[in-house]
A and B are shown apart, each in its own frame.
Chain A
Amino acid sequence: MTTLQVFVDGVGVYAPGLNGWAHARTVFAAPQTYQATHLQLPSIDSLPAAERRRLGVAVKLAMAAGYDATQQSLIDLQQLATVFASSAGDCDNCHHILEALSSSDRAISPTRFHNSVHNAAAGYWSIASGSQKPSTSLSAYDAGFGAALLEAASQIRSNAQPCLLVAFDTPYPQPLHDLRKIANPFGVALLLTPQRQTTTLCGLTLELTQEPAHPMSTPDLETIRCNVPAARALPLLSALATLQPQNLVIEYLPGLNLAITLQP
C-alpha cells in the first residue's frame, strides 16, 4: 500500500475545555480531567481592525488554531501554504443569509456575502499572514479532517514545501441545527513539513485503510469526537500529546479510514 510521510512541527487546538495546545496536551495526558467550559478564543491582532470586525466565530476559531500551531515555529508564515477544511464554514453567517433570503426584502450585506464563501477563513488567513502561497478549502461532511490530512500530505510529498492544516467546525443555530447536529465548536491545526528538523515533534506515516477508527478513552472526549467533524482528529491529538511510538486509525469516509504511524 502507498504510504505518505510528513513531520509535525506544531499543533494547535481550541474547543470548549481545550484552550490552546499547551493546555490541551495536559488534558490529553490525563483525559479524565477534561472539563467542557465555554470556548475561549484569543483576539486576532494580525488583521487590520476593519477586517477584524467582520470575523465570525468560525473564522476566529480557525485562525486561533492556526496561530497556536505556528507560534513556536521558525517557519515564515508568508511562505506557508495552507489547507483549510470545514463541513460548512461559518454556519451562523449561513443561517443569517437564509433568514434574510426568506424574508420579504431579501437584501444581504456585502460582508455577509463574502463571509459566506467556504474559503473565507483561508482568505482572511492569507491577508493576515501575507502569504501568496497556494491555499485550498475543503469540505467532506464528517470526513473533513481526514480529507485535509490526505490533501496536506500529498501536497508535501509532491512539492516538498511545508503546509499548515486547519480543520474547524461550529454549530448551526436552529432550525438547521436539528438537521445537522454539530455539538460544539472545534478547531485543530497541524504545521506539517517534508523533513525532520530541530523543531520537529514527530513523524507521521499515513496510509488508507479499511480498519475501524479508534475511539477516545473517555466518554466525554469520545462524544465530542463523534459529534464534531473536526474532532475526528482527537485520537491523533491525544497521541501527539504523549509522543509515544504508536499506530492509530482516524475516521475518514465510511469504509475508508486513515492509518497513522507516529514516530517520535
Chain B
Amino acid sequence: MRADMQDFDCRNNRLAQLALEQDGFIQSVQAAAERYGRKRIGVFLGSSTSGILSSEQAYRERDPVSGALPASHSYRHTHNMFSVADFVRHYADLQGPAYVVSTACSSSAKVFGIAQRMIGCGLIDAAVVGGVDSLCLTTLYGFNSLQLVSSHPCMPFDAERDGISIGEGAAFILLERADQAQTDDILLSGVGESSDAHHMSSPHPEGLGARLAMQAALDMAGLQPESIGYINLHGTATPSNDAAEDLGVTSLFGTTTPCSSTKGHTGHTLGAAGAVEAVICAIALRYDFLPGGVGTRTTDPRLHCNYLLANQGLAINHALSNSFGFGGSNCSLLLSRKRA
C-alpha cells in the first residue's frame, strides 16, 4: 500500500492498487487529468463486499471484557462500501463526483452507465470506472448457505454444472467523451439496465429481466441482434442462472451468436465481474479473438445458445457483456470497435 494511503490498507484496496498500477493505467488517468482538469473526472466503482474482511478479522479480535474492536481497525477506509472509490479518488488525486454502486454481481457493469450519463449531461469529461471485490468469509459462507458453491472448478453451461467458483478481481477502465474517438478505439455504445422484480436470490426463470437489459443495450446503440459478434455471458455455472440466461439470450438472439462465460477462467469475481468481463470484450474486439469457455466439457443439451468451447479467431464489430445480480439487478454492456 502506497505510503500516504496506509489508512486504506486492506485486501480489497491492495487489489485495487495492484490493478491501478497495471498496463500504464494510472499514467493514462493522470494524462486525462491534465487534459480535462481533476474536477472533471468522476470515479464510479462497483463492489459487493468492499473491505468487510477487515471487520471480519476485527470481530475475532474483540476485547474479551468490553467487546470493543481493536483501536487499529479503520472501518471508514476499509469496510465501508465507499472505501474503494474513496481510495481510488485519493490515489489518483481526482476531484470530480464519486460513488460506489453495490448491486451485487451487476455492480461494476452499472458504473459504465453512470459515467456515460454524467458525460452526456456535461457534468464531467471522463471517469474512472471499474470494480473491485476480494475474498471474504461473508461471501464464502453466504453462497455456501445457498448451496451455490461448486466443489469443483466451475463449469458454466455444462450439463453437470453445480455452482460457482468464487473469485476475486479488479478491473479499471478510463472512459472519455467520444467526440475525439479514433479508428480502432473501443466505444461504449449501449448500456441496458433492468430489474427482475421476481426474487432476492433466484433469477426470473425465463430470463425476462436479462432479456430486457440486453434489448435496452441494443436499443441505445441502435443495433439489431444480428450485429452482435460475441456475447460474454454472465454464466455463473449455477443450474438456474445459466438456464434462465440461455432462455433470455436465445429469445433475443436465436442460437447462432457466439457466446461464452469466462467465469471458468476467473471464477466469479462478483462485484468486479462486470468490469473484468467488459475488459475481456474489449480484448475480443481489439484482437479479433473470441474466448472459448474454460472448465466446460459438454454443453448442456437443454441449453441452446452457441456456446464456444474453444478459442476462435474472428473479427467482430460489437460485443455484449451480461452481468446479473442478487435482488434481480441486471445490466448489459454493448462495446464496439470504431472502424475507419
Contact = CB atoms under 8 A, between A and B. Distances in A.
Contact of A140 (B100, B198, B212): B100
Interface stretch (A12-20, A105-113, A219-227): A105-113
Contacts of B104: 117-119
Contacts of A2: 121-123
A31 interface: no
Contacts of B208: 132
B99 A140 contact: yes
A112 to B, nearest CB: 8
Which of A99, A118, A124: most chain B Cβ within 10 A? Answer: A118
Most chain B beta carbons < 10 A, residue from A122, A139, A151: A139
Given A180-B80, A208-B97, A256-B97, A123 B326 contact: yes
Interface string A151-188: 10011011000000000000000111011100000000
B194 interface: yes
Contacts of B62: 102, 175
A124 B198 CA distance: 9
Given A110-B201, A176-B75, A126 B102 contact: no
Contact of A176 (B69, B110, B137, B200): B69
A73 B109 CA distance: 32
Interface in B185-231: 193-201, 208-209, 212
Contact of B195 (A126, A141, A176, A256): A126
Interface string B104-131: 1000001000101110111100000000
A101 B59 contact: yes
B323 interface: no
Contacts of B288: none
Contacts of A141: 76, 80, 82, 86
B68 interface: yes
A110 B200 CA distance: 10
B32 interface: no
A180 B75 contact: yes
B196 to A, nearest CB: 7
Residue among B75, B82, B99, B100 with the most chain A CB within 10 A?
B99
Interface in A67-119: 85, 87-89, 94, 97-102, 106-110, 112-119
A255 interface: yes
A114 B293 CA distance: 28
Residue in B98, B116, B197 whose Cβ sees the most chain A Cβ within 10 Å? B197
Contacts of B82: 87, 139-141, 143
A2 B60 CA distance: 48
B37 to A, nearest CB: 13
Given A127-B199, A132-B208, A132-B209, A113 B146 contact: yes
Contacts of A110: 145-146, 201
Nearest to A122: B327
Interface in B66-88: 67-69, 73, 75-76, 80-82, 85-86
Interface string A136-155: 11111101100100110011
A101 B99 contact: no
Nearest to A130: B197
A123 B200 contact: yes
Contacts of B117: 154-155, 157-158
Nearest to B111: A136
Nearest to A180: B75
A110 B145 CA distance: 5
A90 B60 CA distance: 21
Contacts of A133: 194-195
Contacts of B55: 98, 176
A136 B101 contact: yes
A29 interface: no
Contacts of B76: 141, 179-180
Contact of A208 (B67, B68, B123, B138): B123
A118 B98 contact: no
A243 interface: no
A190 interface: no
B321 interface: no
Nearest to A129: B197
A118 to B, nearest CB: 3
B103 interface: yes
Interface of B: 39, 48, 52, 55-56, 59-60, 62, 67-69, 73, 75-76, 80-82, 85-86, 95-104, 110, 114, 116-118, 120-123, 137-138, 141-143, 145-146, 193-201, 208-209, 212, 325-329
Q: Which 10 residue pairs are nearest across A and B when measured between Cβ atoms?
A: A123-B327, A118-B102, A113-B142, A139-B81, A134-B193, A102-B59, A147-B99, A179-B75, A2-B122, A141-B82
Given A107-B141, A178-B69, 6 more contacts: A101-B141, A119-B102, A158-B116, A175-B59, A179-B76, A253-B97
18 contacts: A4-B121, A88-B80, A98-B52, A98-B56, A101-B141, A106-B141, A108-B142, A118-B103, A119-B102, A119-B329, A132-B197, A136-B114, A137-B101, A138-B99, A138-B101, A154-B120, A175-B69, A252-B97
